[in-house]
Amino acid sequence: MAETFRIGCGAGFSADRIDAAVTLIERARPEAVVFECLAERTVAKAVVARLADPDAGFDPWFEERMRAVLPPALAVGTTLITNMGAANPAAAGRLARRLAAEAGARNLPIAVVEGDEVTELVRRLDPPFLDRPGRPSDLGAAVVSAHAYLGAGPIVDALRQGARVVITGRVADPALFLAPLIARFGWAADDWERLGRGILIGHLLECAGQLTGGYFADPGVKDVAGLADLGLPFADVEADGNATLSKPEGTGGRVDRLTCTEQLLYELHDPGAYLQPDATADFRAVRFSELGPDRVRVEGGAGGPPPATLKVVVGYRDGVVVEGGISYAGQGAVARARLALAILRERIARRGIPVSDLRTDVIGVDSLLRGAAVAPDADVRDVRARLAARVADAASARAIGHEIEALWLNGPAGGGGASWSAREGLAVASALIPRDLVRPTVSFVPPA
Amino acid sequence: MASLRDLATARSGDKGDTATLGVVCRDPADYPLLAAWLTPERVAAFLAPDVRGPVRRHELPGLAALLFVLEGALEGGVTRSLALDPHGKSLASSLLAMPLPPDVAARSRLASAPAGR
């Protein structure tokens, strides 16, 4: 039997289940487990937290998750790789040092990857945004931070120096998985086919339970057993980059052609050119074959050279978002909800409350459904009128919230449950910068 | 009435202001039928006026799947949208409600295996 490397995914987002990762390590005994916990906006939010407290700015679940997974990882010998460092990998590393000591591994080699934060560089280069008009300079002081998506390189370096825990900030999600494969199999930096396959494995695993039957169940049509105990995925990867996908024995969920294909296509823009810092992966010839219950073979990934640029995400303050609503029931409920929303729009206009964006919905009718899927004559008898607006400041948000609450006595009949809340808007935009200007660093956390 | 949900599964994804929709045949044998019928024009027309930008389609016969990429479909993207579902996660469910024309339903696996519904 060919030598294989077992790599699992212990979290596909920050709020993912923690006990499932313990089960993954204990039952599947993987050589490496990756915890992918950074959404697009998360790092900018973490920078805001770090500005208030220099020891903050890493994942809010880092302590609970690491405390739970370190003991089984130490027992099995599993290497842990995570981007939970967010905007402060060094502080997360110091906490990991304490947690490792608590788990009886005082000298565990813990590495921290930095250099993804490129705020000053991006201010200087001022590259045009890809997904909105303008450049960082147009946003002025609203810019909070800019982070580059690093590749696998610094993680590979850390692993080759013996790291058993690697904590990063922003790294391209698939690169978190590609790195231990490169470290194990010694794939060359221009071995595009194998790098493309490693990226494919990372792409399939990075959303955790979305490969194993999470985000899939549709009762009566697509049934999934045991979602309260959903098993997290792992891949047995061969030296040529092809792999078998599965989940731990005795866990809930399912791994088959449909779950794998749905996840392969997830968030993909061009199956022939999945742009990553380490290679451009090509998924067009990928094939899945079911080997048995919850065991799927994946083959046929390919790749080519990466772009000369790295993607950066710029986080910026974006006003205040106020959101609220009031509910209606019975016959005519939809008409009363629409009347409530019309009243709100009229009051906001009369009072001259400055609003940069405003959206209204009737939850239960058209808040989610789009286009022709919206039922034209819905006899829906349980709805909520919802209004969301972007405004410049807290005072305007409060004024709109006041108008929502005023519907209690001044709106249509039978309105119940009026409420509202406001939050600081924090948005992101992306841009490209030359890759050779970004200098990742690796450091080891000193022993306790 | 039969809908796309009877023939295929779908999953939405997001990146910036672009939504993606992966559509996978339940029975790979239905792929040619689905590819002939589920054109980007039909998808754009069904989701109009809520999807304003262009709709591109990638064909993946080896996976019995189609990938639709919908630009400008997310009200400025997850971090700016005021929608209840800013990711557009529910977009796939809207698409699956698309009615199947009787001739497509008659030629699909539904005709031979109606119990599978």
Could you tell me the strand order of the sheet in which A274-275 lies? A274-275, A280-282, A302-304
Q: Tell me whether residue A134 is in a domain.
A: no
Q: Tell me whether residue A123 is in a domain.
A: no
Q: Tell me whether residue B3 is in a domain.
A: yes
DSSP 8-state assignment for residue B99? B
Q: Give how far A96 is from chain B: nearest CA, Å.
A: 30
Q: Tell me whether residue B108 is in a domain.
A: no
**In a shared domain, residues A96 and A185:** yes
Banded pLDDT at A109 (limits 50, 70, 90)? very high
CA distance A407 to A177: 52
Beta-carbon separation of B98 and A264 below 8 A:
no
If one counts every other C-beta atom within 10 angstroms of the C-beta of residue A18, the result is 17
CA distances from A339 to A331, A343, A367 (A): 14, 6, 16
Phi and psi (nearest 5°) for A378? -65, 125
The answer for residues whose C-beta is within 8 angstroms of residue A349's C-beta and 6 or more apart is none
Banded pLDDT at A2 (limits 50, 70, 90)? low
- Check which CATH number belongs to the domain holding B61 and give it: 3.30.70
Q: What is the pLDDT of residues A274-297, one digit of tens each?
A: 999 999 999 999 999 999 999 999
B23's enclosing H/E stretch is strand B18-25
Instruction: Provide the pLDDT for residue A250.
Output: 97
**In a shared domain, residues A214 and A329:** no
Q: Give how far A41 is from chain B: nearest CA, Å.
A: 7
Banded pLDDT at A377 (limits 50, 70, 90)? low
Which residue among A262, A368, A389 places its CB closest to the CB of B11? Answer: A262
Burial of A256 (0-12, 13-18, 19+ CB in 10 A): middle
Instruction: Give the range of the structural domain holding residue A340, as residue numbers without chain letter.
Output: 315-367+378-430
Beta-carbon separation of A268 and B9 below 8 A:
no
Q: Give how far B28 is from chain A: nearest CA, Å.
A: 10
Beta-carbon separation of B62 and A300 below 8 A:
yes
Residues of A with Cβ-Cβ distance to B65 under 8 angstroms: 261, 265
Last residue within a domain, chosen from A307, A337, A354: A307
Instruction: Tell me: pLDDT of A19 over 90.
Output: yes
**In a shared domain, residues A404 and A334:** yes
Question: Mean pLDDT across the stretch A104-111?
Answer: 96
Banded pLDDT at A30 (limits 50, 70, 90)? very high
**In a shared domain, residues A277 and A234:** yes
The answer for residues whose C-beta is within 8 angstroms of residue A324's C-beta and 6 or more apart is A386, A387, A400, A401, A404, A405, A418, A419, A420, A421
Instruction: Provide the pLDDT for residue B76.
Output: 84
**In a shared domain, residues A86 and A59:** yes
Q: What is the pLDDT of residues A133-154, one digit of tens each?
A: 999 999 999 999 999 999 999 9
Nearest residue on chain B to A387, alpha-carbon basis: B82
A46's enclosing H/E stretch is helix A42-52
Instruction: Tell me: pLDDT of A159 over 70.
Output: yes
Enter the tokens of residue A88. 């402060």
Say if A268 is an interface residue toward chain B (CB within 8 Å). yes
**In a shared domain, residues A320 and A415:** yes
Q: Give how far B51 is from chain A: nearest CA, Å.
A: 8
**In a shared domain, residues A156 and A15:** yes
**Residue A60's closest CA among A51, A70, A50?**
A50
Say if A45 is an interface residue toward chain B (CB within 8 Å). no
Nearest residue on chain A to B95, alpha-carbon basis: A373
Residues of B with Cβ-Cβ distance to A288 under 8 angstroms: 63
**In a shared domain, residues A329 and A413:** yes
Instruction: Tell me: pLDDT of A378 over 90.
Output: no
Testing the interface with A: which of B12, B18, B51, B60 to mutate, by most A Cβ within 10 A? B60
**In a shared domain, residues A301 and A332:** no
**In a shared domain, residues A263 and A291:** yes
Beta-carbon separation of A286 and B63 below 8 A:
yes
How many CA atoms are closer than 13 Å to the CA of A122, on its beta-carbon side? 31
Domains identified in chain A, total number: 2
Whether cis (ω within 30° of 0) applies to the bond prior to A248 is no
Instruction: Tell me: pLDDT of A446 over 70.
Output: yes
Instruction: Give the range of the structural domain holding residue B13, as residue numbers without chain letter.
Output: 1-72+88-98
Q: Tell me whether residue A126 is in a domain.
A: no
Chain A, window 365-404: residues with a beta carbon less than 8 angstroms from a chain B beta carbon: 367-373, 386, 388-390
Q: Give how far B81 is from chain A: nearest CA, Å.
A: 9
Contact (CB, 8 A) for A72 and A26: yes
Q: Tell me whether residue B106 is in a domain.
A: no
pLDDT per residue of chain B (117 residues) written in tens, 0 to 9: 899 999 999 999 998 889 999 999 999 999 999 999 999 999 999 999 888 889 999 999 999 999 999 998 898 888 899 999 999 999 999 999 999 999 999 999 877 765 444
**In a shared domain, residues A320 and A267:** no
Q: What is the pLDDT of residues A87-102, one digit of tens each?
A: 999 999 999 999 999 9
User: A339-372 burial, b for 16+ CB within 10 Å, e for fewer?
Assistant: bbbebbeebbeeeebebebbbbbbbbbbbbbbbb
Q: Tell me whether residue A399 is in a domain.
A: yes
Residues of A with Cβ-Cβ distance to B49 under 8 angstroms: 371
CA angle, A217 then A219 then A224, to 5°: 45
Instruction: Tell me: pLDDT of A196 over 60.
Output: yes
Instruction: Provide the pLDDT for residue B16.
Output: 84
Q: Tell me whether residue B54 is in a domain.
A: yes
Domains identified in chain B, total number: 1
Question: Mean pLDDT across the stretch A109-114?
Answer: 98
Q: Tell me whether residue B78 is in a domain.
A: no
Question: Mean pLDDT across the stretch A367-386?
Answer: 89
Percent of chain A with pLDDT over 90: 96
What secondary structure does DSSP assign to A186-255, as a single string?
Answer: ---TT-HHHHHHHHHHHHHHTTGGGGTTTTT-BTTTB--S-GGGBPPPEEEEETTS-EEEE--TT-BS--
For helices A257-265 and A192-205, angle between their N-to-C axes, nearest 10 degrees: 110
**In a shared domain, residues A282 and A325:** no
- Check which CATH number belongs to the domain holding A332 and give it: 3.30.70.260
Q: What is the pLDDT of residues A338-363, one digit of tens each?
A: 999 999 999 999 999 999 999 999 99
Q: Which amino acid is at A200?
A: L
Instruction: Provide the pLDDT for residue B49.
Output: 87
Say if A299 is an interface residue toward chain B (CB within 8 Å). no
Burial of A336 (0-12, 13-18, 19+ CB in 10 A): buried
CA distance A410 to B58: 52
